[in-house]
Amino acid sequence: MFLEVKHLTKSFGDTHVLKGIDFGLEKGQVLSIIGSSGSGKTTLLRCINALETADGGEIFVGGNKIFDAAEHFSAQNKKKSRNIVNFGFVFQSFNLFPQYTALENVTLAPALKAREICKRDRLPKAEYKRMLSEIEQKAIDLLGKVGLAEKRDAYPCQLSGGQQQRVSIARALALSPDVLCFDEPTSALDPEITGEVLKIIKELAAEDMTMIIVTHEMAFAKDVSDKIIFMDGGVISAEGTPDALFSQTENRRLHAFLSSFYRT
């Protein structure tokens, strides 16, 4: 397995949000996570992305342990699990920096990383400049990839929701993540704009980008996923291929959840 999540737990005070999450994903696979509001989907993604620290469990990427709660909470290792960037994150509400252009939003993180590397390794200024121009070229290419080449100098407020979300996908790709995570990437968008974002995600899937997608778009999940996980009350209540999951009848919670989508 390329990504392995083992027995992840997380509580906020007395609320046990993740009660032991285990799953694996092969390189190039797409996993969708479905489940009703409050079932712990966002918390799971945030723990995987180190935006939140899990209380227990381990995460492996490519056979390397990138997170171990036991080590994390032993003081001397505190920094270790934080510094590795294996994951990209696309938020429900885009979270672009309003004061920066589309291009600057995409170059910002890699540029900061380049500056850190140059400082650490005492590289000459010319090398830093070379890295920056490479970063800019890559950002321009990525904006092209998401269909926004001509919007590079636009500010977020000058872009539609769908365009902002596409910039934020380019921004996440700029750091060449091993796994790209989406938290309800289209739920803040008008239905007619949803398609343009889903299309980009589908293209990434066709290029074998490894992805985890929390979504309420059932038809899309069925279409794009290699595997779907149904979360219920902080546990994985069901998992399988789209065909297996959507045709199952034994899991009553899943059945009720899925019926609620087709009733309306």
Question: Site residues (CB under 6 A) for ligand ADP?
Answer: 12, 15, 17, 35, 37-43
In 172-183, which positions are buried (b, 16+ CB within 10 angstroms) versus exposed (e)?
Answer: bbbeebbbbbbb
Angle between helix 102-120 and 161-173 (nearest 10): 20
The CB-of-86 to ligand ADP minimum distance in angstroms stands at 21
The CB-of-229 to Mg ion minimum distance in angstroms stands at 14
Judged by beta carbon, residue 15 or residue 260, the one nearer ligand ADP is 15
Judged by beta carbon, residue 57 or residue 156, the one nearer ligand ADP is 57
The CB-of-19 to Mg ion minimum distance in angstroms stands at 17
The CB-of-22 to ligand ADP minimum distance in angstroms stands at 17
The CB-of-117 to ligand ADP minimum distance in angstroms stands at 32
Judged by beta carbon, residue 37 or residue 247, the one nearer ligand ADP is 37
Judged by beta carbon, residue 39 or residue 164, the one nearer ligand ADP is 39
Binds 210: which of ligand ADP, Mg ion, none (CB < 5-8 Å by kind): none
- Which residues lie near Mg ion (CB under 5 A)? 41-42
Judged by beta carbon, residue 11 or residue 248, the one nearer ligand ADP is 11
Binds 17: which of ligand ADP, Mg ion, none (CB < 5-8 Å by kind): ligand ADP
Judged by beta carbon, residue 41 or residue 152, the one nearer Mg ion is 41
Strand-strand pairing, 210-214 and 30-34 = parallel
Rounded Cα distance between 5 and 3, Å, is 7
The CB-of-238 to ligand ADP minimum distance in angstroms stands at 15
Binds 261: which of Mg ion, ligand ADP, none (CB < 5-8 Å by kind): none
Binds 106: which of ligand ADP, Mg ion, none (CB < 5-8 Å by kind): none
Binds 74: which of ligand ADP, Mg ion, none (CB < 5-8 Å by kind): none
Query: Could you tell me which residues are beta bridge partners of residue 180?
Result: 88, 211
> Which of 147, 214, 211 has the alpha carbon at shortest distance from 187?
214
Judged by beta carbon, residue 24 or residue 233, the one nearer ligand ADP is 233
Binds 88: which of Mg ion, ligand ADP, none (CB < 5-8 Å by kind): none
The CB-of-218 to ligand ADP minimum distance in angstroms stands at 15
Binds 93: which of ligand ADP, Mg ion, none (CB < 5-8 Å by kind): none
